[in-house]
Amino acid sequence: MHVQEWLETVPPLAIYLLVGLVIGLESLGIPLPGEIILVSSALLASQHGDIDPFVLGACASAGAIIGDSIGYAIGRKGGRPLLAWLGGRFPKHFSEGHIATAERSFQKWGMWAVFFGRFVALLRIFAGPLAGVLRMPYWKFLTANVLGGIVWAGGTTAVIYYVGVVAESWLKRFSWLGLVAAVLIGLTSMLIIKRKASKAQTAHQEPEPAVAGD
């Protein structure tokens, strides 16, 4: 069964809690499809008036912020042995190569790695625990965490919700082509944001040129 079809059978309150929980666990460091659940729920909200998009966005933002904060605390306490343990449990996501890439991002970007990490799937999982392992000052982490969580979760909810509303209006006035066009516009906007964040991340990850011999 498709995610959205399954969500249609779930009461609104359960959807709010599910979105917050899944995104929170993903932000904590557990590989889960948080973005898929959020997008599907926001699209469902645009089609059913009993799901409030503002409450949905607030729950998603809260889950992102709280999950990242817990991940930070766990990473700060567990240190590098925690990353080794995660690598054994989730080798696809926490391989040594991925950890090294994420660590370079944090060393070059600092708190911005936490903020922009919200828009990159891999960094979204790493951000909290890795910031704790690297002992980033908590006030920096918290600032980037709150801003990133609100912009990503709230922005994604708003974009998908309004795309769904426009799509439904077009669908009534014109044809199913309106739905396809509206969805493509929304997805394209999200991909552009992600691509810019990824390019910026790659640019900052390029190794600095070696200095000539002393």
Q: How far apart are CA 28 and CA 69, in angstroms?
A: 8
Q: Which amino acid is at 80?
A: R
Q: Dump pLDDT digits (tens) for 145-201.
A: 999 999 999 988 888 888 776 655 544 454 445 445 555 665 676 666 667 666 666
Residue scoring higher pLDDT (144 or 6): 144
In a domain, 148, yes or no: yes
Domain count, the chain: 1
pLDDT of residue 57: 92
In a domain, 170, yes or no: no
In a domain, 33, yes or no: yes
Residue scoring higher pLDDT (43 or 102): 43
In a domain, 11, yes or no: yes
Considering 97-106, 110-119, 139-148, 172-181, the range whose residues carry the highest mean pLDDT is: 139-148
User: On the CB side of 106, how many CA atoms lie within 13 Å of its CA?
Assistant: 25
In a domain, 183, yes or no: no
| CB count in 10 Å sphere of residue 14 | 11
Residue range 41-45: mean pLDDT, rounded: 85
Residue range 8-33: mean pLDDT, rounded: 86
Query: 0.75 exceeded by the pTM?
Result: no
Q: How far apart are CA 97 and CA 90, in angstroms?
A: 13
Residue scoring higher pLDDT (110 or 11): 11
In a domain, 181, yes or no: no
What is the DSSP code string of 143-208? HHHHHHHIIIIIHHHHHHHHHHHHHHHHHHHS-HHHHHHHHHHHHHHHHHHHHHHHHHHHHHHSPP
Q: What token pair was written down for 42?
A: 């926001």
pLDDT of residue 124: 80
Domain membership of residue 34 as a residue range = 3-161
Nearest to 163 by CA among 136, 140, 181, 151: 181
Residue range 17-46: mean pLDDT, rounded: 87
Q: How far apart are CA 191 and CA 110, in angstroms?
A: 24
When pLDDT is cut at 50, 70 and 90, the band that residue 66 belongs to is: very high
Q: How far is CA 164 from CA 5, 50, 125, in A?
A: 15, 15, 28
Is the pLDDT at 1 greater than 50, yes or no?
no
In a domain, 52, yes or no: yes
* 182 Cβ contact list (under 8 Å, min separation 6): 163, 164, 166, 167, 170
- Where is average pLDDT lowest: 31-35, 74-78, 89-93, 209-213? 209-213
In a domain, 42, yes or no: yes
